Amino acid sequence: MPARHDLTTDPGLQEQLLQARRGTAFFARKLNELTDTELDGGSLLPGWTRRHVVAHVGYNARAIARLVEWAGTGVETPMYPSTEVRDHEINFGATLSPIALRNLFDHSAVHLSAEWRDLPGRDWANEVKTIQGRTVPATETVWMRTREVWTHAVDLDNGATFADIPEPVLERLLRDITGAWQARGTDAGLVIRVVGTNMEFGDKGGRDPVTVSGPLAGVAAWAAGRTAAAGGSGVTASRGTEVLSRVPAAPKWI
């Protein structure tokens, strides 16, 4: 009999798994609210219909499940053979019938959840490699998936916003994004501040920086390159005492 519960007994990891599964349930709810015809409509991602988003989220679960299998067996199974194959898969998936597309999402999510559930505690530290070439412990797969399901639920563009995303997820997302900018130096002249918290990122030592500030959900949406429609409202930009008439576009993230 397979275990009914996660084999890991690490409370921190169990909490993270809960966040990933909640995000998956949230994505499922938004997807179920869409009629088959509405799947043809546009998403918040340029050039992608909702079909592309669903296909991507489904194949992403399969790719992440391959990493979890890798961690469990020691047999190297990459997320995707290449980025070209990944992109081709998404374009193909977007042409599936609505029922097949919905099944892809459902089945891949159930499969990934079972792979996580059945990974013994000792194997979570085993290293795997992401599509970007980063070597990470298997625990990182949980965050990789969490980020995807929550943000892409917003990208379906049928009512979800960043304000629906739990604060710990938004905070980690913002740290991830601003960390990537810092590593590349693309945050020069830019300070990012979350009002009502001590969260401040970016080029803090820079001279005369532009400060982008707002509530956590708004700032995270802005940083992720999403528009006000995604919950990026309440975000303002200033330089010194001058409030700018327009908030600059965020540096590229991925």
| Residues that bind Zn ion in the complex, under the rule CB under 5 A | 148
Which residue, 21 or 193, is less far from Zn ion as judged by CB? 21
DSSP classification of residue 119: S
Which residue, 52 or 193, is less far from Zn ion as judged by CB? 52
Contact 13, 142 (CB under 8 A): yes
Question: What's the closest the beta carbon of residue 172 comes to Zn ion, in angstroms?
Answer: 16
Question: What's the closest the beta carbon of residue 246 comes to Zn ion, in angstroms?
Answer: 27
Which residue, 42 or 120, is less far from Zn ion as judged by CB? 42
Which residue, 117 or 172, is less far from Zn ion as judged by CB? 172
Question: What's the closest the beta carbon of residue 56 comes to Zn ion, in angstroms?
Answer: 6
Question: What's the closest the beta carbon of residue 44 comes to Zn ion, in angstroms?
Answer: 12
Contact 106, 60 (CB under 8 A): no
Close Cβ partners of 150 (under 8 Å, ≥ 6 residues apart): 23, 26, 27, 165, 166, 169
Query: In sequence order, what are the beta bridge partners of 127?
Result: 137
Q: Which residue is nearest to Zn ion (CB)?
A: 148
Which residue, 148 or 203, is less far from Zn ion as judged by CB? 148
Query: In sequence order, what are the beta bridge partners of 202?
Result: 191
How many Å apart are CA 64 and CA 219, to the nearest integer?
A: 28
Question: What's the closest the beta carbon of residue 45 comes to Zn ion, in angstroms?
Answer: 9
Contact 62, 111 (CB under 8 A): yes
Contact 68, 119 (CB under 8 A): yes
Question: What's the closest the beta carbon of residue 93 comes to Zn ion, in angstroms?
Answer: 13
- The answer to whether the Cα torsion of 236, 229, 20, 127 is positive or negative is negative
Which residue, 39 or 237, is less far from Zn ion as judged by CB? 39
Which residue, 115 or 148, is less far from Zn ion as judged by CB? 148
SS3 letters across 34-89: CCCHHHHCECCCCCCEHHHHHHHHHHHHHHHHHHHHHHHHCCCCCCCCCHHHHHHH
186 alpha-carbon distance from chain centroid: 21
How many Å apart are CA 139 and CA 136, to the nearest integer?
A: 8
Question: What's the closest the beta carbon of residue 92 comes to Zn ion, in angstroms?
Answer: 16
